[in-house]
Structure 1
């Protein structure tokens, strides 16, 4: 395998609650996650030394999830890897769509598959809490710090996305959760899944929830109102992840929007 191009699909959180905060500062979550058809492209070619480029302003250091992934892989396997990596970003950041984690999972998948390494899940959680989900993608209820994954049959749904000009820092949004006392659950991700699957608007409306949206509504009301106004033709509107991207969707009638839920975790183009 000399050169490949990987699609790294984004995700949305249709449900997201922060259930507790651990003594080490990490937060436990309960979320319904689903891949969507928006993706980054990662061009990978084996090389004598690693060279990184991108259409996005990214440094090749610990702030880059691809660097973090390659560095961790080398340390855990004892292998020295040389790759030419070009990242073509299409997933906005920060947006709550998991672009960095999706990219990391795609590279980790490539490294493990091409070098017959079986410790993919163990490595994934060390890179980031969303990375284990992205290894296989699709649809899942995820708990803990991202390590407990209950995979479900993918849903069928079209949606429209709105991206405010201002993104939210995940670290800052978790601080807001703590400051505003938003730890706890409301609704049920499994009931939400059933509601969307069975096109039950009442069940869907009773269980759609994102704690970060509640926090954003209190701290950034103008941004939240702007997003909701731009998506107000949809029956359901919610922020995804820690924001600031919003999605709008309907269960009945003609589906609007050009983003679809998808079950394709990885696609090799070359």
Structure 2
């Protein structure tokens, strides 16, 4: 029996980098949220695991054996294989956790088909610090490297969101390395909406230095009067939150008209 799962686009409504750790990772405090759209994965029982990639951004994933989907399948014991069709709708290296979201969807597919082992969070975290959050795909605070999760309130549930990317891939490592090292303090206390409003993205400046077009995207989005607009993750995708679907749709139309070369996605927070 076939199973279909959406790999929900991940955004960091706030991302506070506290310090660089001795192990080379960074101590983070972030507010994860997820959009009700993203890549689509379709799974069917098979004699062995296999992967086919289609969609607008499929060309960026040329080696299926090096794909995080296959790595995720390898982390989960099962009595049979899965044939996966991945429709790659999210840009790659975009600050949306696209690969991690795909891995999260695989964990949910295997959970439906066979159940997950009790230590699934540890297995997920070996694939990436944000993969456990992507398995849950709920608004939550991530601490440590992002794997220590705390589910938060639903004050932003169903809020309209617009994602915009200048179609320029931006690798995470160099953006983190260019961070200025200044600890600007923890996430603010309060509900998810307050954290989103009062938080910040400490990687935004270093990302803009590497990709100045991010500043252009933010300027365009802020001109559509969202209640918050910010870069997600290490970039280059930016998000804007609105009070109504109508406001979001008008913003998307305006940005698409002024910058047809940019990628954009409309959705609502889960």
Same fold (TM over 0.5): yes
1:66 is matched with: 69
Counterpart mapping for 1:9-88 below 5 A: 9-55=8-54, 56-57=58-59, 58=61, 59-62=63-66, 64-73=67-76, 77=77, 81-88=80-87
* Larger RCO (alpha carbons 8 Å, 6+ apart): 1
Distance 1:105 1:152 in 2: 19
In the TM superposition, residue 7 of structure 1 has moved relative to its aligned partner by 1.2
Paired residues of 2:141 and 2:151 also in contact (CA < 8 A): yes
**More displaced 10-residue stretch of structure 1: 159-168 or 252-261:** 252-261
Distance 1:190 1:34 in 2: 17
Change (3 A) 1:140 1:41: same
Matched residue count: 244
2:206 is matched with: 215
1:174 is matched with: 176
1:145 is matched with: 145
RMSD: 2.3
- Correspondence for 2:269 among 257, 261, 270: 261
* Partner SS for 1:256: helix
In the TM superposition, residue 169 of structure 1 has moved relative to its aligned partner by 0.4
Cα shift readout 1:114-169 (whole Å, capped 9, x = no counterpart): 33332221211111111111222211111001221110122132122211121210
Runs of 4+ in structure 1 off by over 6 angstroms are none
Counterpart mapping for 1:99-178 below 5 A: 99-116=98-115, 117-154=117-154, 155-156=156-157, 157-177=159-179
Paired residues of 1:186 and 1:209 also in contact (CA < 8 A): no
Paired residues of 1:45 and 1:84 also in contact (CA < 8 A): yes
Distance 1:88 1:17 in 2: 32
**More displaced 10-residue stretch of structure 1: 38-47 or 211-220:** 211-220
User: Structure 2: any 5+ residue segments left out of the alignment?
Assistant: 250-265
In the TM superposition, residue 254 of structure 1 has moved relative to its aligned partner by 5.8
2:236 is matched with: 244
In the TM superposition, residue 251 of structure 1 has moved relative to its aligned partner by 4.9
What TM-score comes out, normalization by structure 2 length? 0.82
Change (3 A) 1:152 1:192: closer
Cα shift readout 1:212-264 (whole Å, capped 9, x = no counterpart): 112123343x31221123212224320001110011234589632432111xx
1:200 is matched with: none
In the TM superposition, residue 181 of structure 1 has moved relative to its aligned partner by 2.3
Paired residues of 2:152 and 2:191 also in contact (CA < 8 A): no
1:228 is matched with: 218
In the TM superposition, residue 100 of structure 1 has moved relative to its aligned partner by 0.7
2:258 is matched with: none
* Partner SS for 2:178: helix
User: Structure 1: any 5+ residue segments left out of the alignment?
Assistant: 197-202, 263-270
What TM-score comes out, normalization by structure 1 length? 0.82
In the TM superposition, residue 187 of structure 1 has moved relative to its aligned partner by 6.1
